[in-house]
Amino acid sequence: MKAAVRTKYGLPGDLTIKELDIPTPKDDEVLIRVHATTANRTDCHVLSGKPFVMRLFTGLFKPRASIIGTDFTGEIAATGSAVQSFKVGDKVMGFGGAFTCGSHAQYFLLPELKATRAMVTMPANLNYEQAAACLEGAVWASMQVLGSKPQAGQKAMVYGASGAIGCAYVQFFKSYGVSVTAVCRMEQAALMRSLGAEKIIDYTKQDFTKDDERYDMIFDAVGKTTFVKCKKLLKKNGIFGSSNGAINFLWILVTPLFGGKKVVFHFSIKIREALEFTKGLIEKGEFVPVIDRTYPLDKIAEAFTYVASGQKIGNVIIKMD
């Protein structure tokens, strides 16, 4: 099998495509044949080992995992003798968590227990590449949306709305009947409106913090703004969330203690719950995958370079076949 392999923390150019043996599942493991995955922001952090605190989980000076990759679509290729939850041929999609599951390979293994928590069967109305565009960004966004319990008629602002996480936020809020303002470049306005945004703010031409609306929720999908900057845009009991918990960490701890406006980062939503939520919307036609580019595995370094540029719209797919 082919796999993208690294021996150190570093840049996309440090990835090498190698031929490896297909692993054999132990009694409690499933072997997944990967058809598609993504190069995403989570993978970029795992690849670089930054922020440094991530290395507490991935290896302090040298990465424990030589093959990265956090999400996947594919099929069960083999099962261990004790596995009962899956059978050969099942079409699945999943998200292995923030610290990699090794899905940037044509085959990889998961223990059955982790597999039951990290993947679901694929919706019948999507192909492998489309389903791969409904994973990493959608999982992060759905955790925050489900944890925030939005109500129909509320107003939400999504900053950085055109990325994988942002596109998911817009669609999730729309499914709840929330009025969405998308902050992005005007070139993406048509896409944002097609996903459900009612108002567009072009951050390159105007200061979004001077908007005259007040919001129940503001979510920063790219981790580039702060609670302090956005606080005045929130209603009395409004909430602010960010994909970069580090720059708002103190506020996450402090603001819930005093009532009123607060910063949230919801950890309690499980990955499978997030996947099932997204899958349900896909099957109802209320969530559509947004794909920017598709690369073959041999070009995965180019894919990472593009993702790291910060210019991608939606998802960047890695096709494994």
Q: For the segment 53-77, what is each residue's pLDDT rounded down to a tens digit?
A: 889 989 999 999 999 999 999 999 9
Are residues 169 and 130 part of one domain? no
Per-position pLDDT tens, the chain of length 321: 999 999 999 999 999 999 999 999 999 999 999 999 999 999 999 999 998 888 998 999 999 999 999 999 999 999 999 999 999 999 999 999 888 999 999 999 999 999 999 999 999 999 999 999 999 999 999 999 999 999 999 999 999 999 999 999 999 999 999 999 999 999 999 999 999 999 999 999 999 999 999 999 999 999 999 999 999 999 999 999 998 766 667 777 777 777 789 988 887 789 999 999 999 999 999 999 999 999 999 999 999 999 999 999 999 999 998
Residue range(s) defining the domain that contains residue 186: 137-264
Are residues 246 and 147 part of one domain? yes
Are residues 141 and 33 part of one domain? no
Q: Is residue 283 part of a domain?
A: no
Are residues 22 and 119 part of one domain? yes
Half-sphere exposure of 307 (CA within 13 A, CB side): 27
Would you say 307 and 40 are in contact if contact means Cβ atoms under 8 Å apart? yes
Whole-number Å distance between alpha carbons of 108 and 106? 7
Are residues 185 and 109 part of one domain? no
Are residues 22 and 55 part of one domain? yes
Would you say 145 and 137 are in contact if contact means Cβ atoms under 8 Å apart? no
Q: Is residue 157 part of a domain?
A: yes
Are residues 252 and 308 part of one domain? no
Are residues 118 and 36 part of one domain? yes
Q: Is residue 276 part of a domain?
A: no
Whole-number Å distance between alpha carbons of 226 and 179? 22
Phi and psi at residue 122, to the nearest 5°: -70, 145
Q: Is residue 279 part of a domain?
A: no
Are residues 121 and 12 part of one domain? yes
pTM: 0.95
Q: Domain total for the chain?
A: 2
Model pLDDT, residue 259: 78
Model pLDDT, residue 288: 98
| Look-up of token digits 């990955």 | 271
Q: What average pLDDT does the chain have?
A: 95
Are residues 141 and 130 part of one domain? no
